[in-house]
């Protein structure tokens, strides 16, 4: 089963771990697409990506050539609202992974049965990333997404929802 990654682009490009380069607006959109594909941030090539931008497409907007990437502009609503609606209207929620650092979206997505992932966790999936073994003296840190999943599991066990 392939997954659909719905990415809040504003959260992604403004994250401190996202590499910044000077590009024209159109070049920066293509650079973002290339970065996601080249680093296989979605894992398998079978997985699809939907990039959600705020607002309307700019006048110089050209169509995306990549068939595995969909580009959505939120138009009159915020990108957050557009993402919420996309998940709510989907019949295959279990195969959706929303990538955002917005806590409200993450909570709603989880409650609808879809998965969520923080931007840091998404960027950490780079194929060229070196995996190093943690020494026992290094403190263990969880991302927000990991903490949220653990809390949800504990709520189910202890609160018997």
**pTM beyond cutoff 0.75:** no
pLDDT > 90? residue 87: yes
**Quick check: 51 and 158 in contact, CB under 8 A?**
no
Domain ranges of the chain: 4-129
* pLDDT given for residue 135 in this prediction: 43
CATH of domain 4-129: 3.40.50
Give the pLDDT confidence of 33-65 residue by residue, as tens digits.
778 877 878 877 788 889 998 888 776 555 555
For 30, 78, 111, the CA distances from 104, given in Å and listed in that order, are: 29, 13, 11
Matching residue, tokens 């990549």: 66
Element housing 115 (H / E):
strand 115-117
Q: Closest by alpha carbon to 74, among 123, 156, 23, 7?
A: 7
Residues 6+ apart with CB under 8 A from 73: 52, 53, 54, 55, 56, 57
* pLDDT given for residue 6 in this prediction: 93
What would the two tokens of residue 135 be? 């020494």
Backbone φ, ψ for residue 99 (5° rounding): -110, 110
């Amino acid at each position: 089963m392939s997954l659909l990654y719905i990415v809040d682009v504003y959260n992604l490009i403004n994250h401190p771990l996202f590499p910044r380069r000077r590009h024209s607006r159109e070049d920066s959109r293509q650079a973002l697409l290339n970065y996601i594909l080249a680093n296989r941030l979605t894992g398998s090539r079978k997985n699809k990506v939907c990039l959600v931008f705020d607002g309307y497409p700019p006048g110089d907007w050209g169509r995306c050539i990549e068939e595995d990437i969909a580009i959505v502009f939120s138009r009159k609503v915020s990108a957050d609202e557009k993402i919420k609606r996309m998940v709510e209207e989907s019949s295959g929620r279990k195969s959706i992974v929303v990538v955002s650092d917005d806590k409200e979206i993450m909570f709603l997505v989880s409650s609808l049965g879809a998965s969520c992932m923080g931007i840091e966790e998404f960027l950490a999936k780079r194929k060229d990333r070196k995996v190093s073994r943690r020494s026992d003296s290094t403190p263990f840190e969880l991302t927000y997404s990991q903490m949220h999943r653990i809390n949800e599991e504990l709520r189910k066990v202890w609160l018997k929802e």
